[in-house]
C-alpha cells in the first residue's frame, strides 16, 4: 500500500520518465540542476486537492486542473533549495479515483521525485484500490491500520503523522475510524521527543457533514497530547490559518485545482520549521493575487 514515493536517483528518474511517457517533456537542461541543489532539511512543501483528470487538457471548475498542478510542480522544482519532503494531501484524482487520473497525476508529479521523498494521502475523491494499482512499483505492505493508509516519519524538528480520512469515494464526509484513532494515540504516546504535526485530508467539523464524522474523537487526541502543535488539512478549497482554543494551529491548505469560492487562491505552501514554531508561506499560481507570498509565523503552544 504505497503512501511514500522515495526520492529518485538521476538514473531511476530518467528511466521512469521514459516508462511514464514524460521524457519528451523533460529535456536534460530542464532537470540537470534538480539533483545538485542543496537541501533545506527544515522545509516541507505542501500541495492539496489536485483533482487531476486522465485527460490533461480537460477543464473542470473553470480551470485546466492538470495545468494548475503542473504550474505548482514547476515552481517547486525551480525553488532554490530542495525540501526535506513533499506532502500531497488528498483528492489526487478528479472525481472517482479512476486509474487514468492516477496515471496522469503520477506523470505530472514525476519531476518532484527528483527533489525529495513524496508522501501521498487520500481524499474523498480518491479510490484506495485503484490508487494502489496505479503505483505498483511502490507498493509496500502496511498492516498498521487495515484498509487505511497511515504513516509517521520524522524530520529534525518534528514528528509527522499522516492520516487516511477516505471513507466512501465521491461522498463528501470523511471518517478515520476507531482503529486509526487508536493507532494515532498510541504513536503519539511513544513520540514525545519533538513537536508533532498531524496531516489529514478532511477538517475537524462537529456536524460531520463536510469534514470528519469522528471530529470530536480526533480533536480530543490533538488537544490532549501537548506535543501536537499543528493540524494540516485540505478538502474545503479555502486557504486559511486559525488557532484552536488549545493552541493547536489549524492550517487549511489551498487547492492546486479550482476554488469553491471566486477569488480564493490556488497554489501550494512552503512550511519552514524553527525550534519553537513554523513559518508558513502561501505560493499562489496567480502571482498578482493579494495573498501571494503571504508569510505567517506560528509559535508552538507550551509542551
113 Cβ partners below 8 Å, 6+ apart? Answer: 5, 6, 7, 8, 13, 16
Do β-strands 59-60 and 39-47 pair in parallel, antiparallel, or remain unpaired? unpaired
Give residue 189's pLDDT: 97
Q: What are phi and psi of 166, to 5 degrees?
A: -65, 125
Tell me the C-alpha distance between 102 and 92, whole Å: 7
For residue range 180-193, list pLDDT tens digits in order: 999 999 999 999 99
Cα within 13 Å of Cα(186), Cβ side? 10
The structural domains of the chain, with segments of one domain joined by +, span 4-299
Burial of 136 (0-12, 13-18, 19+ CB in 10 A): exposed
Low-confidence ranges of the chain (pLDDT < 70): 1-2, 18-30, 32, 137-143, 208
Q: Are 145 and 128 in contact (CB under 8 A)?
A: no
For the domain bounded by 4-299, which CATH number is listed?
3.60.21.10
For residue range 88-135, list pLDDT tens digits in order: 999 999 999 999 999 999 999 999 999 999 999 999 999 999 998 888
Give residue 1's pLDDT: 46
Give residue 120's pLDDT: 95
| Longest distance between any two alpha carbons in the chain, whole Å | 51
Kindly state the cell numbers that stand for 107.
506523470
Tell me the C-alpha distance between 110 and 104, whole Å: 10
Count how many residues are written for the chain.
303
Give residue 285's pLDDT: 98
Q: Are 271 and 43 in contact (CB under 8 A)?
A: yes
Q: Are 91 and 172 in contact (CB under 8 A)?
A: no
Kindly state the cell numbers that stand for 174.
470523511
Amino acid at each position: 500500500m504505497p503512501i511514500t514515493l522515495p526520492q529518485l536517483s538521476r538514473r531511476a528518474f530518467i528511466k521512469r520518465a521514459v516508462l511514464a511517457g514524460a521524457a519528451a517533456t523533460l529535456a536534460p537542461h530542464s532537470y540537470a540542476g534538480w539533483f545538485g541543489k542543496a537541501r533545506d532539511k527544515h522545509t516541507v512543501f505542501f500541495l492539496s486537492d489536485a483533482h487531476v483528470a486522465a485527460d490533461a487538457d480537460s477543464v473542470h471548475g473553470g480551470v485546466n486542473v492538470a495545468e494548475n498542478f503542473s504550474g505548482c510542480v514547476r515552481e517547486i522544482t525551480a525553488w532554490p533549495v530542495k525540501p526535506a519532503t513533499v506532502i500531497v494531501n488528498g483528492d489526487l484524482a478528479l472525481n472517482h479515483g479512476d486509474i487514468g487520473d492516477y496515471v496522469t497525476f503520477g506523470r505530472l508529479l514525476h519531476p518532484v521525485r527528483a527533489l525529495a521523498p513524496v508522501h501521498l494521502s487520500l481524499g474523498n475523491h480518491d479510490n484506495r484500490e485503484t490508487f494502489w494499482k496505479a503505483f505498483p512499483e511502490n507498493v509496500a505492505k502496511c498492516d498498521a491500520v487495515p484498509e487505511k493508509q497511515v504513516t509517521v516519519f520524522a524530520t529534525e524538528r518534528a514528528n509527522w503523522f499522516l492520516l487516511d480520512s477516505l471513507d466512501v469515494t465521491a461522498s463528501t464526509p470523511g471518517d478515520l475510524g476507531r482503529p486509526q484513532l487508536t493507532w494515532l494515540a498510541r504513536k503519539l504516546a511513544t513520540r514525545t521527543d519533538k513537536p508533532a504535526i498531524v496531516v489529514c485530508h478532511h477538517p475537524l467539523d462537529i456536524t460531520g457533514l463536510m469534514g470528519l464524522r469522528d471530529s470530536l474523537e480526533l480533536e480530543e487526541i490533538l488537544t490532549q497530547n501537548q506535543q501536537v502543535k499543528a493540524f494540516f488539512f485540505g478538502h474545503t478549497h479555502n486557504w486559511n490559518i486559525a488557532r484552536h482554543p488549545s493552541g493547536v494551529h489549524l492550517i487549511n491548505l489551498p487547492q492546486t485545482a479550482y476554488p469553491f469560492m471566486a477569488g480564493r487562491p490556488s497554489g501550494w505552501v512552503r512550511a519552514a520549521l524553527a525550534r519553537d514554531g513554523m513559518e508558513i508561506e502561501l505560493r499562489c499560481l496567480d502571482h498578482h493575487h493579494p495573498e501571494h507570498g503571504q508569510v505567517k509565523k506560528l509559535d508552538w503552544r507550551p509542551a
